[in-house]
Each structure stands twice: as C-alpha cells, then as structure tokens.
Chains A and B, each alone.
Chain A
Amino acid sequence: MNKQLAFVIDMKRCIGCDTCVIACKVENDVESGRFRLKVLDSNRDPIFEKPQGVFPNLSQQWLPTMCHHCVDAPCISACPTNTLWRRDEDGLVMLDEDKCIGCQRCGEACPYDALSFDAEHGTADKCTACAHRLEVNEAPSCQVVCPTRAIHFGDIHDPGSKVAQLLATREHKVLAESRGAKPQIYYLEP
C-alpha cells in the first residue's frame, strides 16, 4: 500500500496558543494578512475567541486547520492548469506556482478554506506539509513547535507510526466529512 501522510491533531491538547501559526508563517514566509495554517476557536473565528455555553458551564475548543491534503481533493479537479496535483508516493497535495494563472477556482472549491491568494505574485498558496523539510527528514514546522504536542504527522498506512497508533486507539473525526473529499487531517476527541 502506498504511503499516506496525514496530520493527526489532538484537540484535548491544543490550547490555542497560535505558536504553530507563527512557525508556519516564519518557515514559509507567509506575509501579513495571509495564512497557510489557522487556529479557529469554537465559533470558527481565528481572532476573537469566545467560549461556548453559559457561565459557569463554559467550554472552549481550538481547531488548527491547514490544507487537508484530501485524497479526492476538489481543488485538483477545479484547477484548470494542473497547478494542484496529488503526489503518488505520499499522498500530499502539491502546488506548482509556475503553472498557476491566478483564477482562484481552487479557493472556491476547497471545503476547508485552505487556499490563500498571493496577490503580489498572482498565485494561489497553501500548506505543503513543509515538503521542503520532509525532503531532509525534518518534521513540519507546526508539529515541531507545538508546545503541547497536539500536532502529529506521519504515514497512517504504517501501523507502527505514531499517527496510526493514535487513530487506532482514540476516537477521531474529520471536518465536513459529508463533502466527500477524504481529508487527511484527523482530529482526536477533545
């Protein structure tokens, strides 16, 4: 079976500190106003955090989200120039800026709002799971910096991997499963 790289995010551990957001921006040189990775709160707002419930019974969840590297990625099917494509060897959805014509169909097609648009260069941009770091056997920057070890990344088809073990032992869900994109960010129960 082919490798399938995926993120597994432990919602019990995420404290919404946004360290991953900053690490991602620094690592990938993402300018102000754009994101490859966002941490949403319970109301799905990345900035104003408001707990759910009525005092004193309040709760709060955070949801780090980036490109979900979907197996049936709607962005690939909407992209008219093959800028977006799925890498056979590990299942990552890649983006070739030099092919992008700036039509922004991908942003419209993505169920996860994972594509941003670099107006300066006129091209789409998104999380590549730090593919340039993976090449030199380094983990994605968001995973490395997470102070609570909430973000895990690895091959879910390898039963010995940490991510496969987490999925085997903990309850998990994906976002908007009904959209049918087969996303590869799995969220462990909060």
Chain B
Amino acid sequence: MESSGWQTRDERLVVIGGGQAAAQIIDEARRRGYEGGITLVSEEAVLPYQRPPLSKQYLTGLHDQDWLLYRHRSFYERYAVDVRLGRRATAIDRAAQSVTLDDRTVLPYDKLAIATGTRSRLLDLPGADLPNIFSIRTLDDVDRLRVRLAESRSAVIIGGGFIGLETAAMLVQSGLDVTLLAASDRLIPKLVDGEMAGFLLDQHLMHGVSIVLRAEVAELRPLADGAVVVKLADGRVFAGDMVLVGIGAIPNVELAQAAGVECDNGIVVDELARTNDPNIVAAGDCTNHPNPLTGKRLRLETVHNAVEQGRTAGATIAGHELPYIQSPWVWSDQYKLRLQSVGVSEGYDRTVLRGKPADGRFSLFYYRGEDLLAVNCINQPLVFGAVRRILNERIPLHPDEAADPGFDLTRLPLPTATLDFDIPWPSKFEKEQTLVEWGFE
C-alpha cells in the first residue's frame, strides 16, 4: 500500500470523531480492503491523538503535539482520507444518509462510523465557572492549563480517579503543593480493592500529596491573583492557584440520539460494533457494548476499548466479521509505579495477593469462588500480560497458583505463533527421489 490507489468504488464512509477509535476504524477498514471514499470529521483542530499522555508526560511539557498523534499525517494521505478538522457534525439524517456539519456542509454517506467519545463531567456548584478551574480531556484543555501551571505554586485536585491521581503525581513532582479531594472513602473505588487503594494512598502521601477522603465539595470562591478556594460541605477550605477537576466523563451521544440511534448509557452496539441502523457503526468511549467474557454490557473509557472496538467497527465496514471479545484492561502511571488492571472485578468475593506490596511489585487477583475475574498489577507487567491472555482464553487459574510467585503464569497453555511456510519446501530427499524417477541420475 504505497500510494493512494484507493477510492475506486463509488461509496462513502464518514467517520465522526477525533480520538483513537476514529483513526483505528479508518486503519482497519482500509487494511481489510474498503475501497470507498473516507471523510473524517473532527471537532478538534488536530489529527486524532492519544489522550492518556495529557495527564502524564504532556502535562508537564515533556513532549510536543506530534508525539501524541496516533497516526501520522502520512497515514491519512496514504489512505486517501478527506480530513475535516475543526468541524462539528450537527445532525445525522438517517433517511437521506447524510451528515450535516456546523458550516452547513452536507456529507452523504453509505456507511457512518460514530466515535464521538466522551466529555469531562463538570462541577455543578456555585463558582464552578471561575477562571483557573480546569479539566483534562482535550489538547486544548491541557494547553490552557499549562499556561496557568507555569505561574502556579499550588493546586487543588477534585477527584480520586485515574485523572486526579496521575495529575497529582505529575504536579507534586514538579514542585507544586498538591491537595487531592476524593468523594469516596478510598481512591479509585470503581476499579480497585481496599488493599490496592491503600497502597496507592500511601504512595501519594509519601510523595507529599495531601489527600482528603470523603470530601464533599460545596462551593468554589475566587481569591486574589486568580487563585481559588474550594469549600467542603463540612466547612473545611482548601486554596490553590489552580483547581483541576477529574470527576468522570459523560458519553457524547446527543448526535446519535437525535437521529434515533438507540442509546442507553452510550450508543448501544453489538459484538460487531453495529448500531440499530445497519449503515451505522460506533466504537470507543461512547458505546455501550456486550462483553461475552463477563456476560455484562459495558461502557468503557479506555484506550484498549477504543483501539479494539475501533478495529471491529472498521472490519464490519469492510464487510468482515471481527467480534470484539476481549477482557478490558487499563493502565496508569504514577511516580515510578505502573498500575495495570485487566478484567472486571465487580461481584468478587475475595482477593489473592501475589508478591509483597512492600517490594513495590505485586498483583492482586479478584476471585468469585474459583473463577478469576480481574487482576491489578503494580510493576508486574509479565503477570499482567499472562493474565490478560488467561482471561481472554478462559484458562482456569486456581487461587493457590495465582498466589504462588514461583508458579510461572507464562507456562500455561497459551496459543503461540506457528512459524511455517504455507506450502513447505520439498525436503532434499524428496527432491532426489524426483530426479531418480525422472531418470536424471
């Protein structure tokens, strides 16, 4: 695929979205031979990029925008993609099969892919619209935040999830006084057990982050020089030169919903990323999809979901079937710790520890009876990699084996690549036989 020999069929795919799912849909559709024209519509002014570094390396200016791009410019040229950046899709007309943009352009489509992602949940409190209150979702958010960060000495972070913790780690390491306010009685309550939450809490305290649990924010008030005071319902106050809000995200489903595409906590799709309209697929953070491995319907805000469901949607567009059946996983970098988590722990009745938290390398296995549901790993990438595949392949792992650091998880019967020629070379002996038969010897 050296050049753009594409767009040979009179057919058009429109992709709405500016994240990894959008780029992945295009990638997979072209790889699988989709030959129609492709238009990418993104509200943002940059090509689809990776969001995870926004609360990590990009926050403190370690890397530039180009570093974040999920696919480089040449990718869109090679695949002959008509890229419309800084344009918002305002309406989908399913009967006429067209998308209207905010500049009134009407784009007809044969296939439509919706990857509109999520937007940050905002505080609905007095003072929430003051200057110097930031959330982290887009490059634009972080570019504005960085201007203020340069002149800030303290920050208050509202939210004890991944965004809050990653930002706390980055900011405290750049020398700011950081206070983190979490609504729950522990950190990342949705994802990790108390033992893991306690370990993370200790790490942040050790690095100098002040953490307030069970903090119910009541009001925000301005101070001199643009600083902000956060007042809790119990009357305690915390001041910072800037406030960062990381209290979750809301799926962007309004466009789909208005067009009559079925939505229920996200755009409802099946294992092949198809919506209730046969010409529309959806992928990424904005979808509510079935997960056959857990028997649950999930809406995930993870890179893995964007990338893998994006592939499924791209394959569907190209007329192939690539069911999305994988255990969800996520990672987070904080200080020198890499937390990797795979599976859905909901409904667990016990946890099994492998390794020692004091060594800074351990894993926590979540079980329901003898069924492994999920694992959180701290600095144990090999355990994570093996368990991810164990869960995907539904290989049983007894809790005693999980707990034993001497038990090599990679020795379980995981599928491996077979390195062979499709048609083997004839062996030397067979060649000589042929020569004898033909009378050449």
Contact = CB atoms under 8 A, between A and B. Distances in A.
Interface string B243-285: 0000000000000000000000000000000000000000000
Interface in A37-87: 40, 44, 52-53, 57-59, 61, 63, 65, 71-72, 77-78, 80-82, 85
A14 to B, nearest CB: 13
Contacts of B50: 81-82
B331 A101 contact: yes
B88 interface: no
Contacts of A99: 67
B417 A110 contact: yes
A100 B367 CA distance: 29
Given A82-B50, A102-B338, A175 B420 contact: yes
A169 interface: no
B440 interface: no
Contacts of A61: 425
Interface stretch (B148-156, B179-187, B220-228, B376-384): B376-384
Interface string B1-41: 11000000000000000001000100110010000000000
Nearest to B303: A80
Contact of A176 (B2, B422, B427): B422
A40 B418 CA distance: 12
Interface stretch (A17-25, A111-119, A132-140, A141-149): A111-119
Nearest to B338: A122
Interface residues of B, number: 44
B385 A104 contact: yes
A173 B425 contact: yes
Contacts of B385: 102-104, 107, 117
Nearest to A189: B425
Nearest to B382: A119
B307 interface: yes
A51 B71 CA distance: 46
Nearest to B23: A82
B427 A111 contact: no
A86 B1 CA distance: 12
Contacts of A57: 429
Contact of B2 (A1, A85, A122, A174): A1
A2 interface: yes
Contacts of A88: 74
A112 B417 contact: yes
Given A82-B71, A102-B381, A175 B419 contact: yes
Interface of B: 1-2, 20, 24, 27-28, 31, 50, 52, 67, 69-72, 74, 303-304, 306-307, 311, 329, 331, 333, 338, 340, 379, 381-382, 384-385, 388-389, 416-423, 425, 427-429
The 7 A-B residue pairs with the shortest CB-CB distance in the complex, in nearest-first order: A104-B385, A102-B381, A113-B417, A57-B429, A59-B428, A122-B381, A59-B427
